[in-house]
Each structure stands twice: as structure tokens, then as C-alpha cells.
Amino acid sequence: MSDWREFDQNPVSHSAAHHLVAISELTEEFGYARVSDVARTLNITRGSVSVTLKGLKGRGLVTEDDRRFVGLSEEGARIVRTVQAKRQVMKTLMVELLNVPEEVAERDTCKIEHLISDVTAELAGRVVLALRSGEPEVEPFLGVLRRVGGDHISEELEFPSKDLAQLIDGTKAAEKKISEGESK
């Protein structure tokens, strides 16, 4: 199980992604962004912002002009577009397909938007497009999901549920059977 090491291969950390998005949103709204504006937006100290921005500048993701306004480099702007697109796709998928309450989807999306691969985001986006396509097969599929999963699940649920525990146990047994077959 070496996949956990890929966690460090993401272009930016959770915190750095928030800094980049804040700069983008401030620049879009006001035409500029200052360290103090980023700090106020993220509800953290100017010192914390300065430390993070130093690293982002060093990586060529953030620029600073002679008036001390910060902006995004081309690569920084690309990362922001990617993170925002992943956020929108995953939140839409959670709300429209999985029936996750909006506020839970917002929190969960924030946690994963900078972590998921472009491949996963693209395929999730295709699922969203299929859901919205109006194709006749979509509604029966959604009907099955509603029957199996119910309308909404409480945030206080115990995970995994009994049904999912059986699925997980069955998947582990199948994987073991496959790996035993491969080793023979």
C-alpha cells in the first residue's frame, strides 16, 4: 500500500490552495490583493499569510509588484482554475447524485478538491454531464439510488453501515481470492 506517498505529489497543499484561491477571488473582485486582504479572507494572521506566500513565490506560483500587491503567475492561475473546477464537479456530484446535504458537500469538497487526480475529476464530471443529459436511462438509475440509499442520511451516522460493511468485507474477500489465484 504505497499509494499514500503520492499524497505529497499534489501541486499544492490544502492551505496553499486556499491562499491561491483567495488571491484569485480578491483580484477578481477588487483588482488587487494584499497580504492583509488574504489574511482577512482566510481569517488568519498576516504573518501566516506571509510565510505561505514566501513559499508560493519561491515556487513561481505567486507574484508581488512594487506596490506589494500579490497576484498569481500563469501556473498559479492554472492551479486555481483546476482546484475550482474540481470543487464544482465534486460538489455537484455529491449533491445531485449522492444526495449529500449542501453544507456537508461543501465541507467535504473543500477537503478533497486539491487532492483528487485530474482523471477522477474528469470522470466525475462526465457522470454529472450524464446525469444532466436528459437521457431516458438516467431517471431509472437515480430511482434505484433513491430506493437503495434513501433521501438523506444524517451526519451522525455510524460508518460503515451494516450494508456497506458487508460490501467492504465482500470486496476484501474477492480481492484476496484474486491475489491468491494470481500467486499460484
Break the chain into its structural domains and give their ranges. Answer: 10-72, 82-162
Average pLDDT taken over every residue of the chain? 85
Q: Are 35 and 70 in contact (CB under 8 A)?
A: yes
Asked which of 79-83, 150-154, 178-182 is least confident by mean pLDDT, the reply is 150-154
Grid coordinates representing 139 are: 431517471
Give the residue-averaged pLDDT of 40-59. 97
The pLDDT score that the predictor gives to residue 23 is 98
Return the bridge partners of 154, or none.
none
Residue 158 has pLDDT above 90, yes or no: no
| Model confidence at 32: pLDDT above 80 | yes
Over the stretch 72-103, which tens digit does the pLDDT of each residue have? 999 999 999 999 999 999 999 999 888 889 99
Class of domain 10-72: mainly alpha
DSSP character string of 99-115: ---HHHHHHHHHHHTTT
> By percentage, how much of the chain surpasses pLDDT 90?
54
User: What does the block give as the cell for 173?
Assistant: 474477500
Whether 12 shows a pLDDT value over 80: the answer reads: yes
What pLDDT score does 1 carry? 44
What local confidence, expressed as pLDDT, does residue 19 receive? 97
For residue 61, give every residue at least 6 positions away whose Cβ sits within 8 Å of its Cβ, in sequence order, or none: 12, 16, 20, 72, 73, 75, 76, 79
Most confident of 4-8, 35-39, 168-172: 35-39
Tell me which H or E stretch contains 170: helix 162-183
Evaluate if residue 8 carries a pLDDT over 60: no
